[in-house]
Homo-oligomer: A and B are copies of this chain.
Amino acid sequence: MEKEQFEGYKYIEGGVCAAAGFTANGLNCGINPVKEKNDLGMVYSETLCNTAAVYTTNKVKGAPITVTQRHLEASQNTSKAVVVNSKNANTCNENGEQIAEDVSRLAAEVLGIKAQEVIVASTGVIGEKMSIEPFEQYMKELASGLSVEGHIEAANAIMTTDTVRKEVAVEFEAAGKICHLGGMAKGSGMINPNMATTLNFITTDIAISSEMLQKALSDVVKITYNCLTIDGDTSTNDMVSVMANGMAGNSEIVAEDESYEKLKKALYIVMLNMTKMLAADGEGASKFLECTCSQAPDLDTAVKVAKSVVGSSLVKCAMFGEDANCGRILCAIGYTDADFDIKKVDLELASSAGSVKMYKDGMSIAFSEEEAAKVLAENEIYININLNQGASQAKAWGCDLTYDYVKINGDYRS
């Protein structure tokens, strides 16, 4: 997938280590029996970071979510490190919080920092017993291997059913200083973010207060991760954290000034690209879906309509089958819980092979099946909905529903 370009922002390599002062590492500590697959990752900042985070809204919360919230509260929203494992979600375990605290303590000891400066996270199977032993055995090796190149090993460590590593970073200028913001994400199934999503760790060297960083993150998450759905299942362990260590040397952002807008845009670009990467790598996906709802009466309606369409099992199956069954798209628009006039809706399907208008004023119109088949044969499909009753626009992202999704999830634990 080609990245959308934004003036004043340059895509760079480096992921979670793109910003000055951050190092990372990843390795296999034995939670995952496949020795070639990393299952433990670490990110470290040489100076203290102002920190923002959003978490899953699921009532079932992974123990690391509870522990991280406690740490950030105790440290007044500052942090120096992330420790994260895959293969076991450390959720619904009786000793889960103790394990998450012990992992934080072990990391703090080897790094010479406070336990409350550690963000801890887990992803994997829910309700499986977890042992502290692998962490005890490998934490020192993990920390001693921290490097600027380590972002790749760290990004590998958080992957579960992901088929590609997900990293994005940008360089931009704010208040005369060169700044960097980058991150890594994991996620493929159990994805229907609600105020957070999957696991996402973002770092930046811009100087910004925790409060303003939280504001930017909370705003951007609404129009990026929260507009993504793979299967309608909101995970128990979702978390996005952003660590800002201030090493770019700008004077700290404490208000919604020009530098704040620049940081917010950088965050948007990185999170937008992460969101698209998560959609394209949805479990079993063969096609990436982007639905744009334009001319909506308000943003909330636009978001709801676009999410309803990419979330519909029937639409997802039709896209997999390359079947221009657009009545299903109208159906999904129609059951959206929002107030608008369905009789004004226009619909078009598009891809790099062209575009075909399918509905006008809520009614099907004649179209060439041949043209439609050409459009749907591509791997990136754009569903363009015009409500023709306002000025708001939103996008939502997802993927098709395939045999492989069923296969992957019919036997996830083994």
Contact = CB atoms under 8 A, between A and B. Distances in A.
A216 interface: no
Contacts of A249: none
User: For A194, A326, A364, which residue has the most chain B Cβ atoms within 10 angstroms?
Assistant: A364
Interface stretch (A22-30, A206-214, A263-271, A313-321): A313-321
Contacts of A194: 335
Contact of A92 (B127, B362, B402): B362
A55 to B, nearest CB: 13
A233 B149 CA distance: 46
A236 B331 CA distance: 6
A334 interface: yes
A318 B410 contact: yes
Interface in A361-414: 362-364, 401-403, 405-414
Contacts of A92: 327, 330, 359, 362-364
A150 interface: no
B359 A127 contact: yes
Contacts of A174: none
B323 A410 contact: yes
A16 interface: no
Interface residues of A, number: 64
Nearest to A361: B94
Nearest to A412: B325
A320 B410 contact: yes
Contacts of A311: 232
Given A93-B363, A312-B232, A314-B189, A330 B410 contact: no
Given A232-B312, A317-B410, A327-B91, A58 B334 contact: yes
A3 interface: no
A355 interface: no
Contacts of A320: 406, 410
Interface of A: 57-61, 89, 91-94, 125-128, 189-190, 192, 194, 231-236, 311-314, 317-318, 320-321, 323, 325-328, 330-336, 340, 342, 358-359, 362-364, 401-403, 405-414
16 contacts: A57-B335, A58-B335, A60-B334, A60-B342, A126-B327, A126-B328, A127-B358, A233-B312, A233-B335, A234-B334, A234-B335, A313-B313, A314-B412, A317-B409, A318-B409, A320-B406
